[in-house]
Structure 1
Amino acid sequence: MQDENTTDNEEQDDELYEHYNFTAGKGQEPLRVDKFLMNFVEKATRNKIQKAAKNGNIQVNGEVVKQNYKVKANDVVRVLFEHPPYEFLLVPENIPIDIVYEDDALLVVNKPPGMVVHPGHGNYSGTLINALTYHFENLPENSSGRPGLVHRIDKDTSGLLVVAKTDDAMTHLAKQFFNKTSEREYVALVWGNVENDSGTIEGNIARHPKNRMQNIVFEESDHGKEAVTHYKVLERFGYVTMVSCKLETGRTHQIRVHMKYIGHTLFNDERYGGDAVLKGTTFTKYKQFVDNCFKVLPRQALHAKTLGFEHPVSGEWKSFDSEIPEDMQACFEKWRNYAKHQQM
């Protein structure tokens, strides 16, 4: 059973930390990756390397490999572990925070795109947690030891997060997310013309068996965790659609995985293949137009727009709304103008 003091939020990154990243030299003779790493990783043990390989945490050129893979010249070898590297320290940093609301129990922040929520994957500074620990003392830790963090969103997703300032607030808020009584609405731009004006996507989500950086939908009920997303079309642009997504559950990459599952990958979502032309014409001018949209919005088109929960002290229902960021608005406007010209 999931711990009530943690939330497996829709956009969290995998709970893995990058320890080592090597590029094999030009003169590298073919060598098993486990032996290769034994030569390069300080204080490495064979068991530790083999365990990492068994768990799918050794990658070569972005693909998961087994321990008998033979490293060749110019291969990029990456090793991930499920705990921070020994040199990891949480250092408070004077980074501005966009605070939407604050009282003695909690604060609601509007996270900009590009900011990592918590340290990991080689991002050990510049995160929201680094900023929070600078501006606020004695924040309560969740069960993963992260100060103030009730839930998370991905680095390239913008939007609202609630942060606990007391132990009681942490417990109360985390329980609401666990019991699915909080409310979260995201706005996204997806590839394709979504057929129905509204709908519900159901499908268990688990880590991809071959690509540890992705999650996928498993239709069998004995695989993965239950996930439910309710969507509604906000505006149609022909080859792309603006949608609202409300989460009934909060799984890793839930919206990104579910929308891809029904054939509507998020626009410019590099991890899930949305950074290519998936719908539209083969005309060069169209491709240039899409490339310009990618430049205007250099991330997946996803924003955590609204957030609602019961206040842990007063019991009052609190609702918050945030503006769609300028990069997403600019991209919407480009597609809106393109759709108008197509209709003429």
Structure 2
Amino acid sequence: MVDHQHSNPKNLQILFEDNHIIVINKRPGDIVQGDKTGDMPLSEVVKAYIKEKYNKPGNVYLGVVHRLDRPTSGIVLFAKTSKALPRLNKLFAEKEAKKTYWAIVKNIPEKTTDTLTHWLKRNPKQNKSYAHTYEVLDSKKAILEYRLIKKLDRYAVLEIDLKTGRHHQIRTQLSKIGSPIKGDLKYGFDRSNPDGSIHLHARKLTFIHPVKKEGITIVAPPPKETIWQACR
């Protein structure tokens, strides 16, 4: 499974930090918030970093604004103040934060650019979502836009703009059109990656600063791995 020795405060890839927010480039395998595995979540690593860097006594405040699936990499934004958190939550809830992802998939999609609309139904027991072409009971509408940005020997690199934020949305929708993400066994790729990751990367985030009210765009370099480096 994934190597966890990188989960320490000295090793964080910090993309942006000020008094109100901190943005991390998450590595595949890190969990954003604690779960039943009991593994050290990224939120606790960031707290330890803040405590150490600013010599903070007592508990460090850190608000989790959004999550990324454990096997994915890329941008995770945290709030450092209780003033910033509700504002960021509102921004994300109202779809005012623009998220762009990169995915390495097998089977190049028929169209080089397309908007995919499906209805996703989640199965909590399997921790998996299923995509339907029409509305079914308890399903939620999921929309994304993709464009082909590079062809590799056996794979295609897609850039994805998320229009809705559903459980495993990109993984489910790309699988539905016959282009599962490299390493994503759960959604139909034929073998796992050696480190348990999948080739899905939260590449870019554009949002309005919760306190300063100015626009910010953050771009995260993909993991230092051969196939990702070929995407640059």
Confirm or deny that 1:304 pairs with 2:219.
Answer: no
One of 206, 218, 222 as aligned partner of 1:320: 218
Cα offset, 1:239, TM superposition = 4.2
Please list every run of 5 or more consecutive structure 1 residues that lacks an aligned counterpart in the other structure. 1-92, 140-146, 277-290, 336-344
Quote the residue 1:265 is aligned against: 180
For the residues of structure 2 that align with 1:233 and 1:203, how far apart are their CA atoms?
20
Give 1 or 2 for the bigger CA radius of gyration.
Answer: 1
Structure 2: distance between partners of 1:310 and 1:101: 14
Q: What letter matches 1:331 in structure 2?
A: I
Q: Which moved more, 1:264-273 or 1:304-313?
A: 264-273
1:117 paired with 2:39, answer: no
Higher strand share: 2
Secondary structure of the structure 2 residue equivalent to 1:326: coil
Q: How far apart are 1:135 and its partner, in Å?
A: 2.8
User: 1 or 2 for the larger relative contact order (CA 8 Å, sep ≥6)?
Assistant: 2
Give the superposed CA RMSD.
Answer: 2.3
Output the amino acid matched with 2:98: E
Question: Runs of at least 4 residues of structure 1 off by over 6 A?
Answer: none
Distance in 1 (alpha carbons) for counterparts of 2:122 and 2:158? 25
Report the CA distance shift for 1:94/1:194 in structure 2 as closer, same or farther (over 3 A).
Answer: closer
Map of 1:138 onto structure 2: 60
Structure 2 counterpart of 1:247, one-letter code: L
TM-superposed CA distance for 1:237, in Å, is 3.3
One-letter amino acid of the counterpart of residue 194, structure 1: P
Residue 95 of structure 1 deviates from its aligned partner by 3.5
Structure 2 counterpart SS, 1:203: strand
| Count of residue pairs brought into register by the alignment | 215
Distance 1:248 1:113 in 2: 23
- The aligned residue for residue 253 of structure 1 is 168
* Residue correspondence of structure 1 range 12-27 to structure 2 within 5 A: none
Amino acid at match of 2:217: S
1:105-133 deviations in whole A, cap 9, x for unaligned?
A: 111111111111111131x2321022123
Tell me the residue number matched to 2:3.
Answer: none
Alpha-carbon distance in structure 2 between the residues aligned to 1:227 and 1:166: 31
Counterpart code for 2:204: T
Residue correspondence of structure 1 range 224-235 to structure 2 within 5 A: 224-235=139-150
**CA distance, structure 2, for counterparts of residue 135 and residue 125 of structure 1:** 17
Contact kept, 8 Å, 2:175 with 2:188, in 1: the verdict is no
Shift of residue 226 of structure 1?
2.0
TM-score (norm 2): 0.84
* 2:9 paired residue number: 95
Residue 95 of structure 1 aligns with an amino acid whose one-letter code is: P
Q: Identify the structure with the greater helix proportion.
A: 1
Residue type matched to 1:312 in 2? P
**Letter of the aligned partner of 1:275 in structure 2?**
D
Q: SS where residue 154 of structure 1 aligns?
A: coil
> What are the within-5 Å matches in structure 2 for residues 212-223 of structure 1?
212-218=126-132, 219-220=134-135, 222-223=137-138
Q: Using a 3 Å threshold, how does the CA distance of structure 1 residues 94 and 304 change in structure 2: closer, same or farther?
A: closer
User: What CA distance in whole angstroms lies between the structure 1 residues aligned with 2:28 and 2:119?
Assistant: 27
Q: Which amino acid aligns with 1:101?
A: F
Q: What percentage of residue pairs aligned between the two structures are identical? A: 29
Q: Secondary structure at the match of 1:258?
A: helix
- State the TM-score, normalized to the length of structure 1: 0.58
Distance 1:333 1:307 in 2: 20
